[in-house]
Amino acid sequence: ENHRASVTVRRVGGRIAAAAQSCSREWHTSASPSPYTYTVVRSPDANAFVLPGNHVFVLTGLFKYCHNEDELASVLGHEMAHNLARHAGERMSEGLLLGIISRLSLLIDPSGLLFSILVPAQTLFSLSHSREHEIEADQVGIILASEACYDPRAAKRVFSRMKEDSEGGGKTRQTPPPEFISTHPGYDTRLSMFDSWMPSALERFERDGGNQC
């Protein structure tokens, strides 16, 4: 817990969590009352994720792309946005509904032909919905970062580095799958969306003539 990475993640995460509470009141939504906890895992993988109980995990491979606290804030903001938007609950409800539909299809068509058609369709629907969640978390994430007085423009730097690596411009090559069969939007899509959201995020970051931050 006293490792520099852990201390930094807790400090930045604490500010993002406070921003989430502030924004939830502004948006008339309810943030989870449970405090956030943070675990940093030594791993070469560049990843972070959050569990429904407000437990955030950061894998140290992420620091290859996050070089300062503004950039780390963009990632933590994204993860906390998933919980603020209750994406995990939506996925659970969606999974239950799709399961019921699949079973009903076998009652309607015991041969399983309808089931074999529905399963790929359901998979594509789930992937599309997952990408929508990721885009929403990107948007809410930079708002949370701005509210916490972290520069929202840092998010583009993180994903630009990831994109460069995926295209072979870095030391490693991590070719992503085509967007339509991926759980996440492509880098070009995300970078373009950041451009469209940035004026609003910067307005929050630079409020009161920049004095508040």
DSSP 158-204: HHHHHHHHHTT-SSS--PPPPGGGSSS--HHHHHHHHHHHHHHHHHH
Backbone angles phi, psi at 50, to 5 degrees: -130, 140
Q: Is 1 a catalytic residue?
A: no
DSSP 103-125: HHHHHH-TTSHHHHHHHHHHHHH
DSSP, res 209: G
Task: Name the catalytic one among 79, 136, 147, 203.
Answer: 79
Q: What angle (nearest 5°) sits at the alpha carbon of residue 166, between those of residues 163 and 168?
A: 110
5: which 2 tokens?
Answer: 């990475």
Distance CA 111, CA 120 (A): 17
Distance CA 177, CA 131 (A): 13
Residues marked active site are found at 79
